[in-house]
Amino acid sequence: MRCDKTTEQRALIAAPADLLLTVTAMAAVPTEQLLAWCPSCHSQTLARQRADARERTRHEADSHTLFDL
Ligand SMILES: [Zn+2]
């Protein structure tokens, strides 16, 4: 996955596809699995993944509540 409109751009960020990994987990990702992100794709994707993670956490919390009563 590489951003078409920014292939000319020099400031690309190397990061794994899963931007929510911890720093330690990210360091363990092999270099060939890193993606070249442009800053705008990186921040958009990070925001989307954080929103998804929040949504998942909320659903999990909802289902756990039934059993915790
Ligand atoms: Zn981009």
Residue 12 C-alpha to ligand 1 middle, in angstroms? 9
Encode 22-35: b = buried (16+ Cβ within 10 Å), e = exposed. eeeeeeeeeeeeeb
- Which pLDDT score, from 0 to 100, does residue 66 have? 64
Spatial neighbors of 53 by CB under 8 A, at least 6 apart, are 20
Q: Are 9 and 41 in contact (CB under 8 A)?
A: no
- Which pLDDT score, from 0 to 100, does residue 7 have? 56
Nearest residue to 16 (alpha-carbon basis) of 44, 45, 59:
45
Residue 40 C-alpha to ligand 1 middle, in angstroms? 6
Residue 39 C-alpha to ligand 1 middle, in angstroms? 7
Residue 50 C-alpha to ligand 1 middle, in angstroms? 18
Domain that holds residue 17: 4-68
Half-sphere exposure of 52 (CA within 13 A, CB side): 9
| 63/28: higher pLDDT | 28
- Which pLDDT score, from 0 to 100, does residue 9 have? 57
- Which pLDDT score, from 0 to 100, does residue 2 have? 56
How many domains are contained in the chain? 1
